Amino acid sequence: MTRISRPVRVRYAPSPTGFLHVGGARTALYDYLLAQKTGGAFILRIEDTDQKRYNPEAIPDLLAGLRYLGLHWDEGPEMGGDYGPYYQTERLGIYQKYIKVLLDQGHAYRCFCTPERLAQVNEERQKARLLPGYDRFCRNLDPSESDRRAEAGESFVVRLKVPLTGSITLHDAIRGDITIENETIQDTVLIKSDGIPTYHFAVVVDDHLMEITHVLRGEEWISSFPIHLHLYNFFGWEPPVFAHLPLILNPAGKGKMSKREERAPDGKVYPVFVHTFKERGYLPEALVNYLALVGWSYDDKTEIMSREELIERFSLERVNPSPAAWNYDKLDHFNGIYIRNLPIEDLTDRLLPFLAAAGINADRETLLKITPLIQERLTVLSDAPPWVDFFFVGELPSYDLNLLVPKKMTLADVPDILQVARRVLANSDFTHEALDAYLREAANSQGLKPGEMFQPIRVAVCGKMVAPPLFETLEILGREKVLQRIDRALERLQ
């Protein structure tokens, strides 16, 4: 394990091929926490050299997702910085300069093999029950011959000349030393035939030139670790500290978390993209808190932590190398806790966009009165519309009249109950305390249980069986609207 006592420079370097996934968001979060803890810099770099898979919607989604999570970068797109450009496609001249160094020093070579020949080689290797790969046909091509063919316009890629014997030992801040035999490493392509670098080459050059001190990335990149370390050695550069983060497994713990949002057997679509969690109404504070614990822990009991506490407590030493399963129920639990701890005015302001998205024209003054009634009942912010929609309509949509009927009664019993309730509501003080007392007294005088009086009132006024506390609801709606709705229920019953 590596203890850090100086400011770090870390980077989150996504490829813009899709939306921001929670796996990528966790990497960005750990980068951010490490930078904040040490007073260092969090850099955002866009690795956009894979133009075939480039998605024009990916970068706006990425930037919006990081901002929603509060992971504000110190250098990068829209921020600038002293180490730019921060898009790899704007750094192509830099890569050409450094690939020439490797070619001149004999650590890389041009490969003129056609796609057809490479396919034939792979086919022959499969027949021989060998792993697919390149047979190093061009590795020992005379440099002058290589230069001549390149100058003649023949298509080529540039490959890394990996040592054929010996081994290379890599140190991972989470997993310790990893030793790889060189004979198992391919002569990886560094520059493609169109002159654009592959990930392996560009990431090493960029991390060195941007003075990155720590590289945090998923464990799926461990296989590329020796290629990158060979490049650092060939250039004579000091490599950064590497930390390969554990996989995030699906909720069943039986495979990697899906890269796409798909309908599960129970019919639900479970989010995996940050923008979907935002749309569902997960608080960024809760999602950040939960994400931090998917592979890291402070101790064996502390779970709810503020951003400031996460920054103070985070360390690579406590990142677990074992895969961690995603748990939607636990995230929901976290989100509910965070919602219940929000000040009423803050929660109200966060609810307003979700009501607007549901077509509810809610005014803030009224919603401020309603929010305390539903705060304990919300798991995500998008739960709110069904709890409050009836407050903001003039006339209720049609509802099933049978909902008005208390247990062991019939529809014929309901008009008398509503008439009694109407007389009380028309003449009592319209505070929730007074309404509670008067309606209970009225129920008792009619030989009714309180619930037998309250159910018809609730359905007549709210249009549903499940609603916020009745007496507070009546007070917020006001006498005029309440009486209108009871009158409408009586008309429908007639």
Indicate where the chain has its CATH 1.10.10.350 domain(s): 401-493
Residues 6+ apart with CB under 8 A from 458: 464, 465, 467, 470, 473
* Kind and range of the H or E run holding 167: strand 167-172
Residues 6+ apart with CB under 8 A from 211: 9, 83
Give CATH for domain 401-493: 1.10.10.350
Give CATH for domain 91-245: 3.40.50.620
pLDDT at residue 1 in the model: 46
Residues 6+ apart with CB under 8 A from 76: 43, 44, 45, 46, 86
pLDDT at residue 5 in the model: 65
Burial class (CB in 10 A: 0-12, 13-18, 19+), 131: exposed
Global pTM reads 0.93
Residues 6+ apart with CB under 8 A from 275: 19, 20, 61, 64, 65, 68
> Going residue by residue through the chain (494 aa), what tens digit of pLDDT does each one get?
456 668 999 999 999 999 999 999 999 999 999 999 999 999 999 999 988 899 999 999 999 999 999 999 999 999 999 999 999 999 999 999 999 999 999 999 999 999 999 999 989 988 888 888 899 999 999 999 999 999 999 999 999 999 999 999 999 999 999 999 999 999 999 999 999 999 999 999 999 999 999 999 999 999 999 999 999 999 999 999 999 999 999 998 988 999 988 777 777 888 999 999 999 999 999 999 999 999 999 999 999 999 999 999 999 999 999 999 999 999 999 999 999 999 999 999 999 999 999 999 999 999 999 999 999 999 999 999 999 999 999 999 999 999 999 999 999 999 999 999 999 999 999 999 999 999 999 999 999 999 999 999 999 999 999 999 999 999 999 999 999 999 999 999 98
Q: What is the DSSP string of 24-63?
A: HHHHHHHHHHHHHHHT-EEEE-B----GGG--TTHHHHHH
| Residues annotated as part of the active site | 259
pLDDT at residue 257 in the model: 92
